[in-house]
C-alpha cells in the first residue's frame, strides 16, 4: 500500500532557505519606490552602528527566522568578505533593500562610516561564533 508521503526524508533546511530566497525575490521585484525607500533605510542603518549591531545580532541569532540565520551563516562560511556576505541577506530582511542595491548604499558612505560599519558587523559575527549560533 502506498502513502501520499515520500519515503525520502524532508530537508527542512532547504525548505527554510527557499522561503527566504522567495522573500528576497519579492523584494527585488517590488515597486521602484519601495526599493529606493529600502536603499535609503539601509543607508541609514549602516550609518547607525548601534542599530546595525542589534539588527546583525538578531539576524545571526535567528530572530528573522531559522532559514535566514542558516542562509547567512552559510554565506559567511563561503565568502572571504564576511560583512558583505551578511549585508546581502540583512538588507532585504531589515529594510526591504534589494541585495544588489545594498552595495550602492555601501558606496554612498564615507571611508570612516564604511570602516565603522565593517567593524560593527565583524564584531557581531565574532560574538555569534562565541555564542555558538553558527552551529
The three three-digit cell numbers of residue 120, written as one number: 560593527
Rounded distance between C-alpha atoms, residue 60 and residue 134, angstroms: 8
Q: pLDDT tens for residues 59-81?
A: 999 999 999 999 999 999 998 99
Residues of the chain with pLDDT > 70, as a percent, come to 93
How many Cα neighbours within 13 Å face the side chain of 91?
Answer: 30
Instruction: Please write down the HEC assignment for all residues of 46-104.
Output: HHCHHHHHHHHHHHHHCCCCHHHHHHHHHHHHCCCCHHHHHHHHHHHHHHCCCHHHHHH
- Per domain, the residue ranges of the chain are 37-131
Amino acid at each position: 500500500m502506498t502513502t501520499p508521503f515520500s519515503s525520502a526524508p524532508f530537508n527542512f533546511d532547504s525548505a527554510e532557505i527557499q522561503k527566504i530566497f522567495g522573500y528576497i525575490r519579492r523584494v527585488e521585484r517590488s515597486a521602484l519606490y519601495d526599493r529606493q525607500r529600502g536603499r535609503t533605510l539601509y543607508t541609514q542603518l549602516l550609518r547607525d552602528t548601534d542599530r546595525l549591531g542589534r539588527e546583525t545580532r538578531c539576524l545571526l541569532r535567528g530572530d528573522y527566522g531559522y532559514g535566514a540565520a542558516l542562509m547567512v551563516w552559510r554565506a559567511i562560511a563561503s565568502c572571504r568578505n564576511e560583512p558583505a556576505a551578511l549585508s546581502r541577506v540583512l538588507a532585504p530582511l531589515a529594510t526591504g533593500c534589494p541585495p544588489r542595491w545594498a552595495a550602492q548604499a555601501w558606496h554612498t558612505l564615507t571611508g570612516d562610516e564604511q570602516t565603522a560599519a565593517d567593524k560593527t558587523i565583524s564584531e557581531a559575527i565574532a560574538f555569534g561564533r562565541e555564542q555558538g549560533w553558527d552551529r
